[in-house]
Every structure is written in structure tokens, then in C-alpha cells.
């Protein structure tokens, strides 16, 4: 194997690996953002539940105040009943008292229902809070894992970069320049193997004469169709 060719093959291998690492590293912040978003949505749902419960409680308090007013009105009516002189007035007062009593018991019923609603809503909040805390922990763990993974990938990339540097230093300036140029125009792929007579970059067939030469791996050859550097792989 031609030494320069082997170096180019190694360089291409490293460049592809670095590209793969870059793609993985790029996805991690997006994944972290997604995790965060999921957590925020759940938090918002929890806050809505709390608001609904607060509204029920407010409604209940309002009814309780109404009940107090109605009860004291009823007590007043009962007191006034003692100083009534005529039968007609008495009947009218009794009527008013009955209506007030009905209103009081109606309010009492409504308040009981609201107390039940409030308790159910509070129970839901309790459950939701536990879930929120558990999910929050899980999200934090997953975020930490992603951050660790990012660190690990960055280290792997750094190791590859230093390996790449030492390989680049051993390749002639001219070849390296050409390699980089091909990579630029050929989607990051400058060195490809030839399989069954076909360039594995553009999948076009090589002329038999050229293929025979490439088979030796003893010099640098280029695919006549895509200009990539080609080598033979058993």
C-alpha cells in the first residue's frame, strides 16, 4: 500500500467519524430543549389545576358569605315577628321567613357540593404535584445524561482531531490541498474504495485498465467520473 494513500484513507476515515460526532453533538441541545419543554407543559397543566381549585374555593367563600347574610336576615325576621300586631302582617312575615329559610337551605346545599368539588380538586393537585416532582427529577437526570454524553463526544472529537493533525502533517501539501478540495465539492467524501470495478463514490464503472492499476494500491488514482481518490479494498 502506498504510504500517502494509506494516510489519505485514514484521514478520510477520521473526517467521517468527526462529521458523525458533530451531528450527534448538534442533536443534544435540541434533545435537552425538548425535555425542558415537556417539563414546562406539565408544570403549566399543574398550575391550571391549582387555579381551578382556587376558583372553586373563591366561589365557596362567596356562597358562605351569602349564607351568613341570609342567616342573619332570617334571625332579624324572626325577631321582628314578636312585635307584629295584625294577622295580615303576621302572615306576610311568615311567608318572608319561609322564603328566607328556603334560600338558606339552598345555599347550604350548594356549599356542600362546592366543598366536595374542592376536596376532589385538592386530591388531584396532590397527585399532580407528586407526578410533577417525579417527572422533574427524571427530566433532570435525562438532562444530566445528555450533558455527560455531550462531554464524552467532545472528548472523542478532540482525540480524533489531534490524530487528524498528525496524519495531515505526514501528507504532502499538494495532496492534502487536493483532498480538501474534493471533500468540499463532493459532500465530505474524497477517498472511496472501488468495489467490483465501480467507484463507491459515484457508482460508475472504472475502465478495466485503470481498475487494474487501482488494484495495486501502489499510487494515487482518481475516479475519472467524480474525481475522488480511489483505492482497492479486498
Note the residues at the interface with Zn ion (CB under 5 A): 199, 201-202, 223, 225-226
Nearer to Zn ion, 43 or 225 (CB): 225
Work out whether strand 221-222 and strand 229-232 pair parallel, antiparallel, or are unpaired. antiparallel
Q: Which residues contact 192 (CB under 8 A, 6 or more apart)?
A: 199, 200, 201, 223, 228, 229, 230, 231
Nearer to Zn ion, 90 or 203 (CB): 203
Q: Minimal distance in Å, beta carbon 214 to Zn ion? A: 11
Q: Minimal distance in Å, beta carbon 216 to Zn ion? A: 18
The DSSP letter of residue 189 is -
Q: Minimal distance in Å, beta carbon 202 to Zn ion? A: 3
Q: Minimal distance in Å, beta carbon 148 to Zn ion? A: 41
Q: Which contacts qualify for 146-151: CB closer than 8 Å, 24 or more apart? A: 146/28, 146/31, 146/32, 146/35, 147/28, 147/32, 149/28, 150/25, 150/28, 150/29
Work out whether strand 191-195 and strand 229-232 pair parallel, antiparallel, or are unpaired. parallel
Nearer to Zn ion, 25 or 202 (CB): 202
Q: Minimal distance in Å, beta carbon 226 to Zn ion? A: 3
Q: Minimal distance in Å, beta carbon 225 to Zn ion? A: 5
The answer to whether the CB of 90 falls within 8 A of the CB of 84 is yes
Nearer to Zn ion, 101 or 186 (CB): 186
Could you tell me the end-to-end alpha-carbon distance of the chain, in angstroms, rounded to an integer?
12
Nearer to Zn ion, 128 or 226 (CB): 226
Q: Which residues contact 160 (CB under 8 A, 6 or more apart)?
A: 14, 17, 18, 21
Nearer to Zn ion, 20 or 224 (CB): 224
Amino acid at each position: 500500500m502506498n504510504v500517502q494513500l494509506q494516510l489519505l484513507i485514514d484521514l478520510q476515515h477520521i473526517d467521517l467519524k468527526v462529521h458523525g460526532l458533530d451531528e450527534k453533538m448538534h442533536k443534544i441541545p435540541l434533545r435537552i430543549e425538548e425535555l425542558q419543554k415537556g417539563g414546562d407543559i406539565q408544570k403549566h397543566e399543574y398550575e391550571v389545576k391549582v387555579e381551578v381549585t382556587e376558583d372553586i374555593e373563591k366561589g365557596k367563600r362567596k356562597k358562605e358569605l351569602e349564607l351568613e347574610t341570609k342567616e342573619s336576615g332570617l334571625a332579624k325576621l324572626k325577631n321582628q315577628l314578636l312585635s307584629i300586631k295584625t294577622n295580615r302582617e303576621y302572615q306576610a312575615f311568615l311567608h318572608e321567613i319561609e322564603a328566607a329559610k328556603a334560600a338558606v337551605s339552598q345555599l347550604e346545599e350548594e356549599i356542600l357540593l362546592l366543598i366536595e368539588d374542592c376536596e376532589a380538586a385538592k386530591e388531584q393537585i396532590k397527585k399532580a404535584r407528586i407526578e410533577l416532582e417525579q417527572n422533574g427529577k427524571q427530566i433532570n437526570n435525562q438532562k444530566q445524561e445528555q450533558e455527560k454524553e455531550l462531554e464524552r463526544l467532545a472528548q472523542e472529537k478532540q482525540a480524533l482531531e489531534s490524530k487528524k493533525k498528525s496524519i495531515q502533517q505526514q501528507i504532502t501539501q499538494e495532496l492534502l490541498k487536493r483532498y480538501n478540495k474534493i471533500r468540499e465539492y463532493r459532500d465530505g467524501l474524497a477517498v472511496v474504495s472501488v468495489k467490483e470495478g465501480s467507484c463507491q463514490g459515484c457508482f460508475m464503472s472504472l475502465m478495466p485498465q485503470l481498475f487494474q492499476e487501482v488494484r495495486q494500491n501502489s499510487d494515487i488514482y482518481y475516479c475519472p467520473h467524480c474525481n475522488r481518490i480511489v483505492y482497492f479494498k479486498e
